[in-house]
């Protein structure tokens, strides 16, 4: 299954189960991707998170139910995943600009949000720098924390801030940011703020070691101001490289970002020449 087909199958699954409990992990399984890569790829291709897409599709469908049927509004709310009437009313009003009761009374228009269709177009003949490189297993010294996939985008930056605020940067400078979910099927992932491990040294309190298995990696270099340059690189990986790549697919639920020492650059991580890399574990199709 190629990358675009995987996301397309996930969208079809969401549509078929819109009135049922939907978890990101369950949907990602339909795409045969780790929840991490599924969420990231979906956002890059579709311009919104999986949760935002599901929420908007449900509210769009709920609007038609309110307008076209005489079912109790509380029953419609429950059907589309809202346990509390107040939360449904607020979300409905934000989306449609009117409460469910007012819509039913007035018989006005509802806002429509149609199912997504993914179309990949080839533009500009732009080449992406990428090298395929085999790496032996390596061990890192890290501070680790487990997050639910739904919380990761918000909580990981806070984890970095906490790490440096509490003095962790004196022990682990943060050469790597690593997402780990090797099973590619869990509801959580482990995130590591890490450096290469020196086995001669003792492991300080509050830190652990993790071994990253040997893989073939697609390594993407990135030069420019952070985080803008890294965000743009990720957009290109998921919207350009993966959709049209005919040789490789993602092999495991691991993602590595490797960062240069910002002190080596005149303007730190905001320097135009700041360098980092994104590593994706890949295997031949």
End-to-end CA separation in angstroms for the chain: 9
Average pLDDT over every residue of 123-142: 85
CA distances from 23 to 44, 78, 153 (A): 19, 16, 16
Closest CA to 197 of 144, 133, 146, 250: 144
Task: Say if CB 35 and CB 24 are below 8 A apart.
Answer: yes
253 is written with which tokens?
């639920």
Average pLDDT over every residue of 194-199: 96
Average pLDDT over every residue of 6-35: 89
Comparing 3-106 with 131-284, is the CATH topology the same?
no
pLDDT digits (tens, 9 = 90+) for 58-105: 999 999 999 999 999 999 999 999 999 999 999 999 999 999 999 998
pLDDT value, residue 18: 95
The residues, any chain, with a CB within 8 Å of residue 276's CB and separated by 6 or more, are: 222, 226, 229, 230, 257, 258, 259, 260
| Low-confidence winner among 24-33, 48-57, 93-102, 269-278 (lowest mean pLDDT) | 24-33
User: With 60 as the cut, is the pLDDT of residue 1 above it?
Assistant: no
pLDDT value, residue 181: 83
pLDDT digits (tens, 9 = 90+) for 4-13: 788 889 999 9
User: With 80 as the cut, is the pLDDT of residue 205 above it?
Assistant: yes
Q: Return the CATH number of 3-106, one of 3.10.20.600, 1.10.10.60, 1.10.287.1120, 1.10.3720.10.
A: 1.10.10.60
Residue labelled with tokens 């993790």: 210
Q: Record the pTM.
A: 0.80
CATH dotted code for 131-284: 3.20.80.10
**DSSP string covering the chain:** --HHHHHHHHHHHHHHTTTS---HHHHHHHTTS-HHHHHHHHHHHHSS-HHHHHHHHHHHHHHHHHHH----HHHHHHHTT-SSHHHHHHHHHHHHSS-HHHHHHHT------PPP-------TT-----EEEEE--EEEEEEEEEEETTTHHHHHHHHHHHHHHTTGGGT---SEEEEE-TTS--SEEEEEEEEE--TTSPPPTT-EEEEEPPEEEEEEEEESSTTHHHHHHHHHIIIIIHHH-SSEEE-SSEEEEEE--GGGSTTGGGSTT-EEEEEEEEEE-
User: With 90 as the cut, is the pLDDT of residue 230 above it?
Assistant: yes
Cβ of 169: how many Cβ atoms within 10 Å? 14
Domain boundaries, the chain: 3-106, 131-284
Chain-wide mean pLDDT for the chain? 90
pLDDT value, residue 5: 82
């Amino acid at each position: 299954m190629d990358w675009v087909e995987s996301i397309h199958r996930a969208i079809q699954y969401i549509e078929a189960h819109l009135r049922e409990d939907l978890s990101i992990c369950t949907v990602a399984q339909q795409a045969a991707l780790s929840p991490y890569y599924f969420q990231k790829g979906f956002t890059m291709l579709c311009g919104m998170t999986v949760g935002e897409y599901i929420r908007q599709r449900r509210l769009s469908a709920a609007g038609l139910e309110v307008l076209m049927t005489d079912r109790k509004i509380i029953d419609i709310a429950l059907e589309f995943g809202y346990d509390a009437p107040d939360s449904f009313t607020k979300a409905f009003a934000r989306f449609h600009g009117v409460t469910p009761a007012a819509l039913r009374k007035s018989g006005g228009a509802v806002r429509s949000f149609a199912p997504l269709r993914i179309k990949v177009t080839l533009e500009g003949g732009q080449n992406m720098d990428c090298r395929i490189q085999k790496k032996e297993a390596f061990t890192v010294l890290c501070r680790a924390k487990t997050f639910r996939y739904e919380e990761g985008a918000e909580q990981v930056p806070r984890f970095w801030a906490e790490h440096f605020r509490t003095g962790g940067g004196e022990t682990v400078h943060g050469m790597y940011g690593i997402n780990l979910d090797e099973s590619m099927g869990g509801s959580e992932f482990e995130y590591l703020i890490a450096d290469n491990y020196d086995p001669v040294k003792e492991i300080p309190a509050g830190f652990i070691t993790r071994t990253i298995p040997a893989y073939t990696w697609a390594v993407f270099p990135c030069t420019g101001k952070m985080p803008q340059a890294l965000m743009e690189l990720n957009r290109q990986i998921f919207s350009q490289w993966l959709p049209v790549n005919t040789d490789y697919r993602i092999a495991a639920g691991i993602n590595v970002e490797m960062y240069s020492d910002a002190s080596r650059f005149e303007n730190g991580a905001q320097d135009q020449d700041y360098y980092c890399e994104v590593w994706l574990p890949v295997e031949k199709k």
